[in-house]
Structure formats: C-alpha cells, structure tokens
Amino acid sequence: MILHLFALGTIVVLASGYALPTREAERGMHPVYKADAAELRSKRASMPVMTFPSLKVEQYAEYWRSIANQTLEQQLESKMRLNTQLAKNIMLFLGDGMSIPTITAGRVYLGGEEKQFAFEQFPYVGLSKTYCANMQVADSACTATAYLCGVKANYGTVGVTAAVHMKDCFAQSQPEHQVASIAEWAQRQGMATGLITTTSVTHASPAGIYAHIANRNWENDADVQADGADPSVCADIASQLVYGPVGQNLNVILGGGRENFLPEHVRDTSGQLGRRKDGRNLIEEWRRQHTNSAHYVYTRRQLLELSNQTSRVLGLFAPYHMPYHLDSNAEELPTLEEMVQAAMDILERQSGGRGYFLFVEGGRIDHGHHDTLALRAIDETAEFDKSVRWARTHSSVEDTLIVVTSDHSHTMSLAGYSSRKNDIFGINDGQLAADDLPYATLSYANGPGYNSNYLREGGAVKRKNLRAINMKNKDFMFPTAVPLESETHGGDDVAVFASGPYAQLFSGVYEQHFIPHAMAYASCLSESRSMCSDTGISRRIR
C-alpha cells in the first residue's frame, strides 16, 4: 500500500486525511525555557526572562531520595498492620464539589506544591465514580443518596430509589421507594448521630441523612406548593428534619437555613422573613418536642457555651447558607472546625459507649466554583481541612473511622507551565497565549466568568488583559471557555481518603454508593450487633 504524504507546516498529512505529528510539533507541546534573552519563551519578548529556579536543597538527588524513603517507611508502617477493630465511631467529611484540581490548587494556597492537607496524610485513598442513575454528571442530591444511603438515584432526588423521578410527589410517598441512610442504620443500633454543614441544613447533601424527597428544592412547604405538589402528601425537607424518624432523633444539627423553619410573617434574628406558608414555627416545635437538655442556638457564643448536660442541639446560624469564611464575622458565627468540636463533645457524651456517626459538609466549596470564584472555593477547602485535622487529632485511630470525600467534581483546571510557587490565583508566568496576552493558571470550562473576562470590539470577541485586573479580589470571576449563568459540575471521579478501622476498604476504584456499605461493615451496622466486641469484629464467612 502506497501512502502519499503532504507536508503542511509542522505536521505531515496522509492522503487519507490523518495527520502525523512531526518532531517540531512535538517540541512545541513542551516549551523549553531559557534565561538567554535571545531565546525567550515562545519568542514573546513582552514576558520576563524566566529560569524557573528550584530550591537549592532540591538540586541534590539525596533530598528526593530521603523523601522517598520517608514515604516508604510511612507506607509500610501504615499498611503492614491492617486495623480490623470495630469502628465504634464513624465520621464522614464531605467537601461538596471538592475536585482533585481543587485539592491541588489548595496545596499551593497553603504555601506550596509540596504541601498537604490533613486528609491527604490518611493511609488509604480511592476513587469514587459519581454519576447518577440517569445522568452522566451528577448533582448533590443523587450523590447524597449514594454516599449516605447506598443506592444510586436520579438527578435532583434525595433518599429515594431510581424509581422516583424529579418532582414525582406520588412516587416519593411510596414507602418501597424510600431508602434508609447510614445515620438511620446507626440510630437502630443505639448510636448517637449528628450532621453539620456550612449550607442550609435542608440542602441536598445534609438532606440525605434524614429526608426522602422527589425534588431537592422542596426545602419548605411553599417550595412544594410552587411545583403544584401537596405538602400533606410530600412533606418538605425542613418538616422531615423535625418530625421524620431520623431527623427527630439526631443529637446534633448545625448549619444555616432558619427561613425554611419559620412562617412567612415571622422575622428571624437577622430580620429575614421566614418562607413557610403553613404558619408553623418548626424551631419552636423542635424545642417543644425535646427535653430541657435540648438547646436551640443561633450564635457562636451560644454554641461554645452549651452546658455539658446538653443532649441535643439545633444550631441555625444564618437565614439560608452560612457566609463564606472570607466574609464571615468570626465573633458572631462559628467556624466549621468549632462546630465539629462542639458536635464531637455532645456525641461522645450521648453515645453511652455505643459510638456515634457524624456527617460534616464543607458545602460552600461548591458554591464558589459555581460562580467561578476560585479564591473562595479554595479557601473553603482549607477551612474544611481544619475541621478534618481537629477531628483526627482528637479521636482514636484504633476505634474511629474517618472518611473524607466529595460528591462530585467541577470544571476548574490548572493549566500551563508556571514556575514553582507562582500565585495560584494569578496569571501563568510561563508563557503568553497566541493572542499575546497572559492567561490565568486557573480557569473553568464554563460559567459566568466568561462575560467578566471577554470584551467585544467591532464584532470581535477578545480576551481582557489580566494584568489590568486584580485577580486576588475574592469576587474575581475566573475565566471560562463557555458562557453560562452558573458553572456546571464535572463528571470525573473524586478522591476518597480514609483513616481508622477498615480504612483499607476504601482503596481502589468503585461506585460512589459503595461508601456507606463499607462504613457500615467497619461498624457492624449492616449485620447483627452481637457480632461486634470492643476488641474486634467477628464476621460470617461469606
């Protein structure tokens, strides 16, 4: 067979139309940077000469060998002895939207590419596949059903099987379509339980703990009615939290969302009107439902000053979502770490030696990404990690399993050939784009950042010069390729980090709905409690 070749620039085109890369094209994929002014990067003299220096100690091979040996020792120490003790306590930390690129960018935010989050030091890491039963790219509702209830569900639905489609009130009300969460499994065994979030406690992720709902947006009865459904048939999420069998038995409920518990004519402490049309004040109803040792709080001080006799706490610190950490009043509102501290204290006391399950969500990582506010999203990730660090250092690795993961990814990426320690929120300092303008290290595949980074001149769309923009402003929307009102989730796998009893179960690649089953196995929630003891777990031969 004779092939006819036609040379076109840096590629060779076969007669069939298939392009073969040439040596010159290959070299263009990986630019070589030199300090010689005569050989500037990409021949674009407007960029400074860059040598990309490394730390002096890193120039010695022994430095890297010592790090490798240290890592090897740590790996051997953590993996040679499998922890098969009973997981008396389980904590699931959920960084909503915490994609792998978010973690990578967060390391640089912490101080450098070589830094690590606390959860990255856990001995076992896996990958979770996040798709919904009916969608390639998931939302926080179907994923909550997966990692909390152990089944894949449809987009927009929580705590129900894939037999329920979004807004199907009748299907939601059928008991056979409702699935129990790991919190319910724990309560059946007498364990204390709690949830914490920086979003509304009625939002999709925390709702997976206690609710069965055909539309994640049905957070109050007005929302149900707005879709033409009957709240008496399909109870809203807030009412399920107060009166549902799981919600009413939670020892700890901390987050935002006051407006979903208050009547539309009643203002909360911030002056915000409630949203309920049924005239019910669910906060007062929660108070009357429980004993004098149960407390409702709405400020940081009230939370931190709870007595050691507290059996239950409902803390609603904002009308809807809690503010971003960068916007929060530290004197008025607790941090995620402080909420975890208070929760662990209550749960430990109330567990009566039976252990506890705690769900913790860093929910506003996701919101930062949706608005292409990368600085906010990554700062929220750093705050989320503080709560993980505190929980791990204040619990026993021998009897407390901690799992850290995300529900889905986002479209943010890190691109280009920037020098080490380059500002992760700045421009790529390695090269200019083909339009002779700098580009951001962080960018999104889609989202609202398109309009703030492009301008139209004479019918042409051009990029703005990022040198003239303060990219360190926490409200700067990072560039996107496709204009959308809200950036979408990504469909790639997310990481799962585990430490404690049976943490080894979380290595490998698996479906997201496997996560609660593995946690339940570690804590004997899926089998008879009589099989568990303080010294280990005796299991049936499968």
Residue 458: is its pLDDT beyond 90? no
Does 361 carry a binding-site annotation? yes
pLDDT at 30 over 50: yes
Q: What is the per-residue pLDDT for 24?
A: 64
pTM of the model as a whole = 0.91
Residues 438, 386, single domain; the answer is: no
Average confidence (pLDDT) over 523-528: 73
Instruction: Tell me how far apart the alpha carbons of residues 221 and 278 are, in angstroms, rounded to a whole number.
Output: 7
489 annotated to a ligand binding site? yes
- Rounded Cα distance, 11 and 261, in Å: 64
533 is annotated as an active-site residue? no
What per-residue confidence (pLDDT) applies to 21?
63
Cα angle for residues 450, 204, 356 (degrees, 5° grid): 130
Position 29 scores a pLDDT of 60
Domain range enclosing 284: 81-411+493-535
Given the residues 128, 140, 351, 418, select the one marked as catalytic: 140
Q: What is the distance between the alpha carbons of residues 153 and 145, in angstroms, rounded to a whole number?
A: 6
pLDDT of amino acid 33: 57
Residue 470 has pLDDT above 90, yes or no: yes
- Domain contains 441: yes
**290 in a labelled binding site:** no
Q: Is residue 212 part of a domain?
A: yes
Q: Is residue 106 part of a domain?
A: yes
Same domain, 425 and 512: no
Residue 540 maps to a domain: no
Q: Both 381 and 344 in a single domain?
A: yes
Q: For 235, phi and psi rounded to 5 degrees?
A: -60, 140
For residue 41, the model assigns a pLDDT of 43
Alpha-helical segments (H) within 80-177: 100-110, 140-144, 169-172
Do residue 461 and residue 497 come from a single domain? no
Beta strand pairing call for 312-316 and 294-297: parallel
* Residue 60 falls inside a structural domain: no
Statement to judge: residues 331 and 473 lie in one domain: no
Does the annotation flag 369 for ligand binding? no
Helix (H) or strand (E) holding 517: helix 514-523
Looking at the chain, the number of H-run helices and the number of E-run strands are 16, 22
What sign results for the dihedral spanned by CA atoms 439, 442, 444, 449?
A: negative
Residue 536: predicted pLDDT: 52
| 435 assigned binding-site residue | no
Report the percentage of the chain scoring pLDDT > 70: 87
- Mark whether 479 and 497 lie in a shared domain: no
pLDDT at residue 89, rounded to an integer: 98
What CATH number is attached to the domain comprising 121?
Answer: 3.40.720.10
Q: Considering the chain, what is the average pLDDT of its residues?
A: 90
Per-residue model confidence (pLDDT) at position 34: 53
**Ligand-binding site membership of 370 (annotated):** yes
Segment 259-273 shows an average pLDDT of: 97
Section 353-375 average pLDDT: 97
Examine the fold and report which residue of 483, 502, 518 is the final residue of a domain before the chain moves on. Answer: 483
**Is 542 a residue whose pLDDT tops 50?**
no
Summarised one tens digit per residue, pLDDT across range 176-225 is 999 999 999 999 999 999 999 999 999 999 999 999 999 999 999 999 99
Which region, left, alpha or beta, applies to residue 217 given φ > 0 means left and ψ of -120 to 50 means alpha?
alpha
Least confident span in 55-64, 102-111, 296-305, 417-426: 55-64
Over residues 477-524, the pLDDT tens digits come to 999 999 999 999 999 999 999 999 999 999 999 999 999 999 999 999
205 is in an annotated binding site: yes
Number of structural domains in the chain:
2
The structure tokens listed for 74 are 């740590």
> Which residue in this structure is represented by tokens 């083909």?
434
